[in-house]
Amino acid sequence: MKKLVIFGGTTEGRELSCALAAEGIRATVWVATPYGSAQQGRTEGLTVCTGRLDRPRMEEVLTGAALCVDATHPYAVEASANIRAACAGAGVEYLRLLRPASPLPPDALDAPDASGAVRLLEQTQGPVLVATGAKELAAFAPLGGERLYARVLPTHASLDACAAAGIPAGHIIAMQGPFSAALNRAMLEQYGIRWLVTKDGGAPGGFAEKADAARAAGARLVVIRRPREAGASYQAVLARCREVMAP
């Protein structure tokens, strides 16, 4: 039996794996965290594995595979690099599933990374809501905890990251998205946010809802630019999986 490995943990990864399973194409889906596993759920024909893998372990997982689909987050640069290298080492075809990018509002500021966003914000005033994920909160600490608000997943690790960045408990919004434009706007207005720092998570990440809310609430976006990468659309990846995995 041919072996298909999908590195997922994203909306498009779940959609792809479930679409394939519905057609009788079995796959092994790897996600990094228990949260990702819970989101993936259980589907007949899919084997879901959880854990962060280094390159050697990835090569082991890929041994004998006919195809590997990288459906990790658009900003998971290190993970994608390891998956590509592991595929090359194991002699397995690598296919990157791209998430369409979003148009930025005309008044949005953009930065190459979290540190770049901080440099921009150092020249501004007013409360800042950081909605880029808990991993990057430490980079924003120089702005001062009293100025910062953080929207993070409701996990112990996220709360620990907020504490390490000096963000007061009253400035932490621990909720699981995606969020509607109305709820985004309510949060911005509740805390008087003037700057919303986000990534271009595309439609699955609710980028349009964030942009609409910021405009309505009188806040401006600071967008951490998406890394440049080559890959294929959802439909192209789905077609290639069907082709490779055909009996």
* pLDDT tens-digit map of 194-228: 999 999 988 888 999 999 999 999 999 999 999 88
Give me the pLDDT at residue 157, please.
92
At residue 104, the 3 state secondary structure works out as coil
Describe the strand order of the beta sheet including 46-50 as a list of residue ranges.
46-50, 27-31, 4-7, 67-70, 93-96
Give me the pLDDT at residue 33, please.
87
Which stretch of DSSP H or E encloses residue 212?
Answer: helix 207-217
Q: Tell me the CB-side half-sphere exposure of residue 183, using CA atoms within 13 A.
A: 9
What is the residue whose two structure tokens read 């690790």?
157
State both tokens at 158: 């996220």
The 10 Å Cβ neighbour count of residue 247 is 6
Give me the pLDDT at residue 35, please.
82
- Single pTM value for the model: 0.82
Q: Are 28 and 58 in contact (CB under 8 A)?
A: no
Give me the pLDDT at residue 227, please.
87
Give me the pLDDT at residue 144, please.
94
Q: Omega into 247 within 30° of 0, i.e. cis?
A: no
Give me the pLDDT at residue 177, please.
84
pLDDT tens string for the chain (247 positions)?
Answer: 899 999 999 999 999 999 999 999 999 999 998 888 988 999 999 999 999 999 999 999 999 999 999 999 999 999 999 999 999 999 999 999 999 889 999 999 999 999 999 999 999 999 999 999 899 999 999 999 999 999 999 999 999 999 999 999 999 999 988 899 999 999 999 999 999 999 998 888 899 999 999 999 999 999 999 988 899 999 999 999 999 999 8
State both tokens at 22: 């519905």
Give me the pLDDT at residue 1, please.
80
